[in-house]
Each structure stands twice: as structure tokens, then as C-alpha cells.
Structure 1
Amino acid sequence: MDKIATQSPRQKRDPEETRKRILKAAKKEFAQLGLAGARVDTIADRAKANKRMIYHYFGNKEDLFQAVIEEAYLDIRAAERKLKLELLEPVEAIKALVRFSWDYYLKNPEFLALVNSENLHRARHLKKAQTIIEVHGRFIGMVEEILQRGVGQGVFRPDVDPVQLVITIAGISYYYQTNRYTGSIIFQRDLMSDEAREERLNFNIDTILRLLRP
């Protein structure tokens, strides 16, 4: 009887914890196999849940994929907010943003895989994610404010579109990392060695700052 009493609290169902486990398992499955290749049975096994629970929390596989995509974008935006870029001097803020993008992609390859997958589906899930659009809009607004401060200090030129800047910062890290295997063959160098990664990060920072200078 004592044993039962001891185990009981641990066995209580925690809906939020179950939902998190399902999302984590689904993220891995979708990143590896995409929406079409992912299997709900595998996700359930990974999450130590059952299919009924998945359908209860998310509706169907399509809705689960949308939840995973939304969480992926919310996660990167939340991580960026922790940088507190608005408190940094403009040049240092841009350096931090470039470095963050590089490091985040490096540490979260699943994010890149999910973005690739969503592009294959022409962003049909992201179109329905109004929260993501609003959060990203605030991020662009913050970058614009950094640029304006830089213009005021005479360190940035005044004609830079913040959206184009964000696309460029993402692109120079995204391309390098998503093409690291083919690039290592084509360019005959190990693009993912410690030395190569550090060289590329410095190149990225220098490239963006040159683009912004008056």
C-alpha cells in the first residue's frame, strides 16, 4: 500500500508534458522524413504516447506538422529576444545577430530541415500561423530600430531595407550549412572543421558590416 501511495503522484497524467513529448518526437520525425514520410505510429512510440493522444491534442498529422512548424519559428524568435539586441550599440547588435544565426543553425539542424520541408509545401501551414507573422513582424521592427540608431550615429547607411538585411543574414549562414556536404566535395575543403567554421563566421560578420557602412 505504501508503494502504491508513493508512485501515484508520478503516474498522474500531465497534459502539458504529454503535449511537449509529442511535439519533440514529431519534430525529429518530420525533420528526418518530411510531412509525407513521417508516420504517426513512430511519433507515438518516440513520445511514449498512443495515437489516440496525438489525435486528441493535435487533430491529425497535418495539424501536428503545423504545430511543429509554429513552435520551430517561435523558438528561434524567443532565442533572439534573449540577446537583448535593442540594448546593444548598433554595430555590436548586428554582430550578435549574425553570430546568433550562424550558431543557431549549427546547433539546430532540425530547424533547417523543417523550413526546407515547409517550403516544399509552399508554406501552406505557415500561412495559417498568424502568431508567427506577428512575432516576426516585431523582430523586423527591432532590426529596423537598430538600423535607424546606426544611421543616427553615422555608422550605417540610411537606405538598407531591414527585411532584405534579415534575409541576407539568414541566407549566408543557411546556404553554407545546408550545402556543407556537397560544398566540401566541390571546394575540396572540410567546410565543417573548427577552423573553417570560424573563418566563415568572421567572413559573414565582415560581409554584413561592409554592406551597412556609409
Structure 2
Amino acid sequence: MKKASKVTAPVRSKFRSEPRKNRSVSVPVLDRHEVKRKYDPELTKRNIIEIATAEFAAMGLSGARVDAIAERTSTTKRMLYYYFGSKEGLYEAVIDEAYGKIRALEQALRLEAMEPREGLCRLVEFTFDFHDTQRDFVQLIAGENISGGTHAEHLKAFKARNSSVVKTISNLIGRGIAAKVFRDDVEPVDLHLMISSLCFYRVSNRHTFAMAFGRDPAGPRLRVRHRAMIVDTILRFMAR
């Protein structure tokens, strides 16, 4: 007679999973800024232009690398080409944005609400401060001029965008002439050239100027003096 086979109870593994009801599944959650950036093309383009501005200002069009720009943004090289078409297209967007920024800030000054001398003084101070603090702008514009302005020429609204500053200065001059505080033989575009030149040069040529004369225009004491000097020069030039 055979012995009954021994039935062994199943061994309960110590590695058995917890009951399903006790499991917690970790799901990655995007914060609202990440979600917005992912689905907001305008925000993405602004981010690309901001990073590209620094890259083009430092390296120029030929030296700038699209890979370097993509690595520092929240997007990919492929998306960069999707939005701007090419490296040159991105560069042109950067130039357009740079000029658009200064023109928009000029309009925000509301110079038409000021007396002519006060308004002109404020415009010169703003132009000085903008060039002094936005050095990427100076480097970009200097580089574009070295290349003959060929890319700015492709921008359809370039002239229209920049006409606002001439209109602003024309309004200041006209009101100043009527108030008998400004001379009447100065063209608005010439005054704009004069203001821009004085503010631009000290930034674009600061390094060679400092080496040649032992004075860095970016130094705090010289900055204050140059600002006052340029304002005074323009106001004296326009005085009747």
C-alpha cells in the first residue's frame, strides 16, 4: 500500500507585491510654466530669440552655432528651424526684435506730454542708458553694419518700424520751435544720428578707447560724466 503523498503548502514569497489597492504610482507632473512653454509657440520663440541675441552678439552670424543656441533654450534644433527656417532667418528675427525693443521703449516714454526741452533731455538720457546697459544691442548692430546691413535689408517692416523715432524727434523740434526754445534749421533724422552716435561710440569702442587713453568709458565715474556731457551737448546744440 502506497503512502499518501505529502501535500506541501505553497511558500509565501517575501518579495510578493503589495495588494493593488496599496500601490502608489508615480506620475510625472508638469508645472504650469512647463505646460505653458510646451504649448505656447510665442513664448518658445521669445526664449529662442533671447538666447540667440546673446550668441549672435558674442560670435557674429558666421561664428554663432545653432546647436549652442538650442542647447541653452527649452526647445530643440529641429524646432528652431521650424520657427525660423534657417540660421539666417533666426538672425534676422533677432535684428528685428532688437530694433523693435528700443523703438517700443522710446514710445513708452510719452515725450509728447513733456515740455520740449524736458522731452529732449529725457530722450537723450534714455538713449544713453539703453546703449550702456544693452551691450548685446550695440554688438549686434555693429556686426550687421560690418556686413553691409544685408540682413536688415530683408526685413519688410524695418523702415516703418524705425520711423517712429524720427516722428518723435520731429514733434519735439516742432514744439520747441513754436515755444522759441529750439533752433529751426535741424532735421529730425540728423538729430537722431547725433544722439545715437554719441551714445553708441562709447560702448562699441570702449575696449580700444580704454587701451589708447587709459580710461574705460564703462567705469561708473566716467559713465555719470559722459551722460551729463551728452545731454548738455544736445541741449546746447538745439538751443535757439
TM-score surpassing 0.5?
yes
Q: What is the aligned-residue identity percentage?
A: 37
Residues in 2 aligned to 1:133 and 1:66: alpha-carbon distance in whole angstroms:
14
Q: Give 1:137's aligned residue.
A: 163
| 1:44/1:6 CA distance change after superposition, 3 Å | closer
Q: CA RMSD in A?
A: 1.7
Residues in 2 aligned to 1:59 and 1:164: alpha-carbon distance in whole angstroms:
37
Residues in 2 aligned to 1:189 and 1:125: alpha-carbon distance in whole angstroms:
34
- Among 223, 226, 233, the alignment partner of 1:197 is 223
Residues in 1 aligned to 2:116 and 2:151: alpha-carbon distance in whole angstroms:
34
Shifted more, 35-44 versus 190-199: the winner is 190-199
TM-score (norm 2): 0.84
1:7, distance to aligned residue in structure 2 (A):
2.8
Shifted more, 30-39 versus 179-188: the winner is 179-188
Q: Name structure 1 gaps, 5 residues minimum.
A: none
Q: Give 2:109's aligned residue.
A: 83
Q: Give 2:27's aligned residue.
A: 4
Amino acid across the alignment from 1:182: T
1:90, distance to aligned residue in structure 2 (A):
0.5
Which runs of 4 or more aligned residues in structure 1 lie more than 4 Å from their structure 2 counterparts after TM superposition? Answer: none
Q: Name structure 2 gaps, 5 residues minimum.
A: 1-23
After superposition, give the CA deviation of every residue in 1:24-72 in whole Å (9 maximum; x if it has no partner). Answer: 1111110000000011111110113211101100000011100000000
- Among 158, 171, 174, the alignment partner of 2:184 is 158
Q: Would you tell me which structure has more helix in proportion to its own residues?
A: 1
Higher CA-based Rg: 2
User: Residue 24 of structure 1 contacts residue 47 of structure 1 at CA under 8 Å; is this kept in 2?
Assistant: no
Q: Give 1:111's aligned residue.
A: 137
Q: Give 2:90's aligned residue.
A: 64
Residues in 2 aligned to 1:74 and 1:133: alpha-carbon distance in whole angstroms:
11
Partner SS for 2:217? coil
Residues in 2 aligned to 1:6 and 1:60: alpha-carbon distance in whole angstroms:
33
Count residues in correspondence. Answer: 214
After superposition, give the CA deviation of every residue in 1:170-194 in whole Å (9 maximum; x if it has no partner). Answer: 0001111222222223223343222
